[in-house]
Amino acid sequence: MNSKNIRNRAEQMLSLEGKVAIVTGAASGIGRGIAVRLAEMGAAVAVLDKNAEGGMETVAGIERDGGSAIAIACDVRSRSDCHQAVERTVAAYGRIDILCNNAGIVIRKDTLALEEEEWDAVLDVTLKSVYLLSREVIPHMIRNGGGTIINTGSGWSLKGGAKAVSYCAAKGGLLNLTRAMAIDHGKDNIRVNCVCPGDIDTPMLASECRQLGENPEQFMKEAASRPLNRVGTAGDVANAVLFLASDMAKWITGTCVVVDGGGLA
Ligand SMILES: NC(=O)c1ccc[n+]([C@@H]2O[C@H](COP(=O)([O-])OP(=O)(O)OC[C@H]3O[C@@H](n4cnc5c(N)ncnc54)[C@H](O)[C@@H]3O)[C@@H](O)[C@H]2O)c1
């Protein structure tokens, strides 16, 4: 094969033309970045979020760029919301090839400060939702002969962090859930992987700064202190998700890609 053919083949492998994706938490930050990137590469995208207005803004942006998307209001903690969101996606686009379980919340407290309801809230949004939505989507993927699931973990899927007990528990669990699901559904030609972002410039990072009562400038300076010397962008994470969603990653399952500018190094 000459180099032009190889370039064409690589483009084909990254293309998502004809595919349908669901992205949760896609009204903001990383989820919005993922939805936009998948749409740019040709996927029709169902934008799920409890923030309906933000979801519609994501869809408007995708449509302005010539892509196809629908906004679906969905609280990922709710089994019936997850069921209805999947039904609506299939009614609109006929199939589901890619599921990005991205919605998450963080509460920066240690064990003694954290209330039981706060523990439940973080675990429900960040971990249980992945189980709820996946069990709705997987039967559709099996019917289509396969699919790919990408969960948004964190650097704290791989190590602990201060004042974030429920978040660390949820993100650590998410990575092992990813591995377990990959083992169970490899036979169905469903790949399950995780992206583990470091500090990414989104409303969540700003909220962490507020919760910790830290000076925003100092907080961002510390967040940026890593080998590649900057905080990440939603686009940095979306590129890794695109790779995992595409045929480029067709023999990759049950693992994670760390996107953190070298922070864990
Ligand atoms: N920003 C970072 O530094 C960072 C680092 C590592 C991992 N992450 C992870 O990336 C993911 C996205 O985070 P982000 O930084 O874009 O945050 P964000 O706050 O900008 O976006 C999160 C989105 O999730 C939605 N959401 C929250 N609860 C929901 C629910 N119950 N049902 C449906 N949607 C809900 C919010 O409305 C929001 O649109 C999260 O899983 C987060 O833990 C973020």
**What single letter denotes the amino acid at residue 208?**
E
Q: Is residue 264 part of a domain?
A: no
Q: CA 97, CA 23: separation in Å to the nearest integer?
A: 11
Residue 72 · residue 128 · CB < 8 Å? no
pLDDT digit string (tens) for 26-75?
A: 999 999 999 999 999 999 999 999 999 999 999 999 999 999 999 999 99
Q: Is residue 105 part of a domain?
A: yes
Overall domain count for the chain? 1
In the chain, the percentage of residues whose pLDDT exceeds 70 is 100
Q: CA 169, CA 134: separation in Å to the nearest integer?
A: 20
Tabulate helix, strand, coil % of the chain (nearest 5): 55, 15, 30
**What single letter denotes the amino acid at residue 45?**
V
What per-residue confidence (pLDDT) applies to 153?
A: 98
What separation in Å is there between the alpha carbon of 3 and the centre of ligand 1? 40
Q: Is residue 178 part of a domain?
A: yes
Strand 20-24 versus strand 44-49 pairing type: parallel
What per-residue confidence (pLDDT) applies to 145?
A: 98
What per-residue confidence (pLDDT) applies to 237?
A: 98
Cβ atoms within 10 Å of 197's Cβ, excluding its own: 23
Residues in the chain, total: 265
The stretch 8-20 carries a mean pLDDT of: 96
The stretch 127-140 carries a mean pLDDT of: 98
Q: Is 168 in the pocket of ligand 1 (CB under 6 A)?
A: no
**What single letter denotes the amino acid at residue 206?**
A
Q: Is residue 171 part of a domain?
A: yes
Between 1-15, 90-104, 106-120, 135-149, the lowest mean confidence (pLDDT) is in 1-15
pLDDT of 165 higher than 80: yes
pLDDT of 264 higher than 80: yes
Q: Is 50 in the pocket of ligand 1 (CB under 6 A)?
A: yes
Taking CA atoms, 30 is separated from 4, 24, 93, 98, 265, in Å, by 33, 10, 23, 16, 22
pLDDT of 162 higher than 90: yes
What separation in Å is there between the alpha carbon of 104 and the centre of ligand 1? 4
pLDDT of 2 higher than 90: no
pLDDT of 1 higher than 80: no
Atom of ligand 1 nearest to the CA of 106: 43
Taking CA atoms, 115 is separated from 87, 109, 119, 122, in Å, by 35, 9, 6, 11
Rg of the chain over Cα atoms, rounded to whole angstroms, equals: 18
The stretch 70-99 carries a mean pLDDT of: 98
Residue 237: give its domain's CATH number.
3.40.50.720
Average confidence score pLDDT of the chain: 97
The stretch 189-217 carries a mean pLDDT of: 97
Q: CA 204, CA 201: separation in Å to the nearest integer?
A: 8
pLDDT digit string (tens) for 140-159?
A: 999 999 999 999 999 999 99
Taking CA atoms, 121 is separated from 77, 118, 126, 127, 146, in Å, by 9, 5, 8, 10, 32
Taking CA atoms, 155 is separated from 27, 42, 207, in Å, by 22, 29, 18
Is 167 one of the catalytic residues? yes
pLDDT digit string (tens) for 104-119?
A: 999 999 999 999 999 9
Q: 165: domain range? A: 3-259
Nearest 5°: phi and psi at 238? -60, -35
Q: Is residue 238 part of a domain?
A: yes
Residue 105 · residue 48 · CB < 8 Å? no
Q: Is 37 in the pocket of ligand 1 (CB under 6 A)?
A: no
Q: Is residue 8 part of a domain?
A: yes
Q: Is 197 in the pocket of ligand 1 (CB under 6 A)?
A: yes
- The pLDDT confidence band at residue 249, using thresholds 50, 70 and 90, is very high
Q: Is the pTM of this model over 0.95?
A: yes
Q: Which tokens go with 160?
A: 């602990």
pLDDT of 206 higher than 90: yes
What separation in Å is there between the alpha carbon of 128 and the centre of ligand 1? 14
What per-residue confidence (pLDDT) applies to 200?
A: 97
